[in-house]
Amino acid sequence: MNRFASAVRKHTAFVFLLLCALLFISVILCVGIGPVPIGFRDVWRVMLHRLFGLADIGAVPENTRSIVWYLRAPRVLLGVMAGAALSLSGVAMQAFTKNPLADPYVLGISSGASFGAVLTMSTGVFAAMGPCRVQLGAFAGALAAITLVCVLSAGGWGSSPVRLVLVGVAVSAMFSAFTSYAVYRAPDDSKVREATFWMLGGVAGVKWEELLPLAVFLPPAAVILFCLADPLNAMMMGDSTAVTLGVSVGALRRVLIVLTALLTGAAVSVAGCIGFVGLVIPHIVRSVTGADHRRVVPLSMLLGGIFLVWVDVAARMLDVPKEIPVGILTSMLGAPFFLWMIRAGKYAFGEKS
């Protein structure tokens, strides 16, 4: 493992390109996988034709074109973007709390975003915002949750890992209760079904226009986090060291709060509450590449997208003709990983607590 990790650190650019290629291949393959299998060539032709006006699709049946472009391509791209956004949220949270157990789901931020989204769907809150109301509600809920966690964990940003997690669990339970009450008070069955989707998490049935929030927020957030890699590395050495190196720790944390709320809110507003991606993926990347955020940020983003795309494939195929909500599978995978981290004492970067 040490030899592998050393090789990855020496050839980070190559690993980045390799993950880009793997992500591209995963997207094409996952669009073709499903109860109705579609060949690689047909998927490739339809995508080229729709995106760039290239390739002849005359030999591709009309129903195959519809399945590729209207059903599977949007959900696969949502999986990529939601996985990347949640992974970056995890990276940001773990950096400003200096706690590898921090995660949008574990700390209740996803639950807060879900409550905001469900509240806007079941009531008239933010009705004046029109089509953006669900996204605004999710962002407001995420921002409220992250602020509440940081305020209640007494020690502030540097509170102990276990205390932070306990506060997060309590905040998550509180917002989950609020969400359940909002669902219970929903005026009709259609609202209940829609809200239940947000609570379970999933990428099925998404339309192209619904990808807009993530398409807008994800690229600039990723660029900002990457540009903040050196200040984040300095902050990991302690606030006093970071200040000595010229980092404005307070301003940096405020930026990270906003980025986390935006990324989590955007992901939850489209895909619902999908847990543990922001915990598992950054930890795997750090265990291989080390804690340098110049590596952690881009590799976590790519690996998160690849991970969630293939989890969605499993969700489609494990219980045909039904589909398992993606959030259920990520929790099944992430919860044991979370318990292992606690059991192994892996809740301080590079050392036991």
Q: Is position 332 within any domain?
A: yes
Number of structural domains, the chain?
1
One-letter identity of residue 111: S
User: What's the CATH code of the domain at 261?
Assistant: 1.10.3470.10
Residue at 44 is within a domain: no
pLDDT at 9 over 90: no
CA 80 to the chain's CA centroid: 9
124: which 2 tokens?
A: 């008239």
Give 154's pLDDT tier (boundaries 50, 70, 90). low
Average pLDDT, integer, range 80-97: 93
Asked whether residue 1 is assigned to any structural domain, the reply reads no
| Pick from 123-127, 226-230, 303-307: least confident | 123-127
Give the percent of the chain with pLDDT over 70. 92
> Is residue 135 predicted with pLDDT exceeding 90?
no
Tell whether 22 is covered by a domain: no
Looking at every residue in the chain, the average pLDDT score rounds to 87
- Is the model's pLDDT at 304 over the cut of 90? yes
Q: Which two tokens stand for residue 209?
A: 């226009």
**CB within 8 A of 158, min separation 6: which ones?**
97, 98, 239
pLDDT-derived band at 345 (thresholds 50, 70, 90) equals low
Q: Whole domain around residue 286: which residue ranges?
A: 82-343
- d(CA 212, CA 341) in angstroms, rounded, equals 35
- Residues 256, 57: Cα–Cα separation, whole Å: 45
> Distance from CA of residue 85 to its chain's centroid?
4
Mean pLDDT for 229-241 is 90
Q: Is 13 among the domain residues?
A: no
Is residue 282 situated within a structural domain? yes
CA dist 239 and 184 (Å) reads 45
Confidence of residue 350 (pLDDT cuts 50, 70, 90): very low
Find out whether 78 and 71 touch, Cβ atoms under 8 Å.
Answer: no
- Establish if 334 belongs to a structural domain: yes
- Return the structure tokens found at 74: 């949007």
Q: Does 116 map to a domain?
A: yes
Distance CA 213, CA 85 (A): 11
